[in-house]
Structure 1
Amino acid sequence: MSATAGAVWGRAEQQDFRSRVRGTLLGVAVADALGAPVDGLTLEEIRQAHGPQGLTDLAFGHGRRGAITHHTQLTLFSVDGLIRAQVRRDTGAWHPPTDLHRAYLRWAATQRDWGPDERRKEDGWLAREEWLYARRSPARACLLGLGDDTMGTLDAPKNPGDQGPEAAVRSAPFGLLVGWEPQLVLQLAAECAAQTHGHPTAYLAAGAYAVILHALARGESPDAGVQRALALLAPRPGQQQVADALQHALGAVRQGMPTPDRIEELAGDGTAAGALAVAVYCTVVGEDVRHALCLAVNQGGPSGAAGALTGGLLGALHGETALPPAWLAELEGRPTMLVLADDFAMEMTQGAALHGPTGSAPGWLERYPRA
């Protein structure tokens, strides 16, 4: 796969990349749907509700099986923001964190409005998807961070005490910027995480997660991705908790068969660092995708976030066809996710044919306005 921003993509490379993009988005979503019904329950409560093996299949949540939460909603808007950033680059305006912030504000509107405003053509097509106008347990930090138009930055972050994993989950699409250098991927993910989660543990976990997924999307191993993330984290203030969590995850891989107790130990007190450790561990030790996702969600911490982080890594590593088809068949919003994934893949591999100095496809600019 090409790792150069201006490289020409062959057909096989494009198909492989599209499969990894689809896998990432669907992996986040299906694991989010798996973990959401047990989010916040203790392991004992999960077993009481679902049997001695814990949760092994999709369960009812938000009125149906396969319902996604704000983790997936925000991940989709991350993709939308990245496409819009590429389109806006034609105008000479190139500051992706601003475009991502605008995308997240469009998500925030879905949490307070009854439905899309068809008059706002500048919102693009994703913000007009009616099924996204549903409150699905949004984290307080997300609502507060996006409660006004002021954008949090690394120098002046929103919610500077929040160490939650939500910003890391929505960072999966940054790892799909395979033409970018890893350090730039980390920087973008951290800057965008600081818009809602201002503690270094939260925004550096988001950056590390994006770097690991970036390696997987480029065909590298999980271990190579973790080692690169550790090297890039090393000079950053406040990185120790995230680095320790990643080291702990790698160490746990060598300690025999995975157990729920080991998952609980890695998860710790439910911070972004703990959820990231669970995701890395389960990605490496899972017998298959289904087993890995069930490992990730059967624990007393943020099951939905840990599952979604794991699903993103596995989707980037293996592509969409490795995901459990019976779960995908019930996944809420799957048609939207597939369209968005394919649009992202097309923009990143063939964007010059869609818009640029010599002309633009009107339909593309209607879907992803420059405004």
Structure 2
Amino acid sequence: MTTTAAAGTAGAPGPLPRGRAEQQDFRSRVRGCLLGGAIGDALGAGIEFDSLEAIRAAHGPAGVTDYVPAYGRRGAITDDTQMTLFTVEGLIRAHVRRDTGAWHPPADVHRAHLRWAATQEGWGPDERVRDAGWLAGQEWLYARRAPGGACLSGLADHRMGTLAAPKNPGSKGCGAVMRSAPFGLLADWAPGLVLQLADECAAQTHGHPTGRLSAAAFAVIVHGVVRGEPLEAAALRALELLAARPGHEETTAALRGALAAVRQGPPSAERLQSLGEGWVAEEALAMGLYCALVAEDVRHGLLLAVNHGGDSDSTGSICGNLLGAVHGETALPPGWVAELEGRGTILELADDFAMELTQGPALHGPPGAASSAAWLARYPRA
């Protein structure tokens, strides 16, 4: 990581200094962000490649109002949620490895994404993941769910893309945006460091400045709302930070377009589609943000986010990440939570992330110190 935190543990943030109520609120927002993103992903999965006209013809004038079958079941998630979960796992392992004096979160996230890429090649866990931690052993994650080409090609070898030498420098698809909410959950980090880390990790698969900076801006917006900022204020903070970054213009224009659309009249699918289709990074970010800003409640925002003729699962996922981070897990529609594929794994990972950030020193210390063997088996330092 090319920030001061990269030089070693001296620049690394410590555990969140929170009381019990604050820790419970943080855990609720982490759970809400990850579950909400997965619900939005699953709502859009069955209509991702349909036009708005086809969606309305098949499901009525309001479009989809509930899960529809995708990949053989209702509530199925896609590669958007798969990659988000591996991003979370990479961030946990980065914090665990910090005790060894190794502090380079982009490398840990990259290794986690390589573990995701391995799930796209096989039928299930095998000897290759024996020492890879618990997430890579979850058989349900080995389903191939229309993964993005840039994500697959960017992770096809072990060379890590960097800002100086990014993978797929011409790609600005939304595949880096849809997995970047977890960077915003690093609530003890400064916003500028969140932006930097998300930018560096996006370069591992999507090297175009818009593909990278849209992912980074999304992380900063999530970060703001997790820390209690209003959603619009968090978006304005992202705009402020983007202004200093070369190549920010498309991302900045898309964010400003989303903020302006809020004031142009009642929300509708047609107004949403004026922001784009969501296949490219800045459009997906703008559409997800717009739906979260105008949402009357979580259900309303998510249904608006998926009922359009574009990348419905990604815009739904982005909107769900935001609304879940704003309101916490208890605001999510319980019927959708109950039927969501992988709910147990998502909750387990969310709780582990919150525990690592708030209780890390009690779980592990420097090599040779008293540590939880169970925790280090789940998140190996190797």
Report the TM-score when normalising by structure 1.
Answer: 0.97
Deviation, 1:162, is 1.3
CA deviations 1:46-103 (Å, max 9, x no partner) are 1111111111110000000000000000000001000000011111111000000000
**Which residue does the alignment assign to 1:362?**
373
Distance in 2 between the 1:31 and 1:315 partners? 10
Residue among 90, 97, 101 paired with 1:81? 90
How many residues of Structure 1 are paired with residues of Structure 2 in the alignment? 368
Distance in 2 between the 1:118 and 1:350 partners? 31
Describe how 1:278-357 pairs up with structure 2 within 5 A: 278-357=287-366
Distance in 2 between the 1:269 and 1:121 partners? 37
**Which residue does the alignment assign to 1:180?**
189
Deviation, 1:267, is 2.2
Distance in 1 between the 2:175 and 2:330 partners? 26
What letter is aligned with 1:181?
A: A
Deviation, 1:159, is 1.1
**Which residue does the alignment assign to 1:189?**
198
Do 2:210 and 2:251's aligned partners in 1 also have CA atoms closer than 8 Å? Answer: yes
> 1:44 and 2:46 equivalent?
no
Distance in 2 between the 1:118 and 1:315 partners? 36
**Which residue does the alignment assign to 1:168?**
177
Distance in 2 between the 1:146 and 1:269 partners? 22
Q: 1:259 to 1:120 in 2, by over 3 A?
A: closer
**Which residue does the alignment assign to 1:207?**
216
Deviation, 1:271, is 1.4
- Name the stretch that deviates more: 114-123 or 182-191: 114-123
Describe how 1:115-194 pairs up with structure 2 within 5 A: 115-118=124-127, 120-194=129-203
SS in 2 for 1:60: coil
CA deviations 1:118-175 (Å, max 9, x no partner) are 5644200000001111101101111101111011111111111111112111101000
Deviation, 1:269, is 6.4
Describe how 1:94-105 pairs up with structure 2 within 5 A: 94-105=103-114
- Name the stretch that deviates more: 33-42 or 171-180: 33-42
Dislocated runs of 4+, deviation >6 Å = none
Deviation, 1:6, is 4.5
What letter is aligned with 2:184?
A: G
Q: 1:200 to 1:179 in 2, by over 3 A?
A: same
Deviation, 1:255, is 1.1
**Which residue does the alignment assign to 2:246?**
237
CA deviations 1:290-345 (Å, max 9, x no partner) are 11011111111111100000000001000001111111111000000111000000
Distance in 1 between the 2:278 and 2:305 partners? 15
SS in 2 for 1:154: coil
Distance in 1 between the 2:90 and 2:268 partners? 38
SS in 2 for 1:279: helix
Deviation, 1:9, is 1.8
Deviation, 1:42, is 1.1
Distance in 1 between the 2:187 and 2:49 partners? 34
Question: Which consecutive unaligned segments of at least 5 residues does structure 1 have?
Answer: none
What letter is aligned with 2:380?
A: P
> 1:25 and 2:34 equivalent?
yes
What letter is aligned with 2:322?
A: L
Do 1:142 and 1:196's aligned partners in 2 also have CA atoms closer than 8 Å? Answer: yes
What letter is aligned with 1:135?
A: R
Deviation, 1:40, is 2.1
Report the TM-score when normalising by structure 2.
Answer: 0.94
Deviation, 1:8, is 2.7
Do 1:118 and 1:128's aligned partners in 2 also have CA atoms closer than 8 Å? Answer: no
SS in 2 for 1:177: coil
SS in 2 for 1:307: helix
Do 1:152 and 1:158's aligned partners in 2 also have CA atoms closer than 8 Å? Answer: yes
Distance in 1 between the 2:69 and 2:24 partners? 34
Distance in 1 between the 2:120 and 2:128 partners? 18
Deviation, 1:5, is 3.6
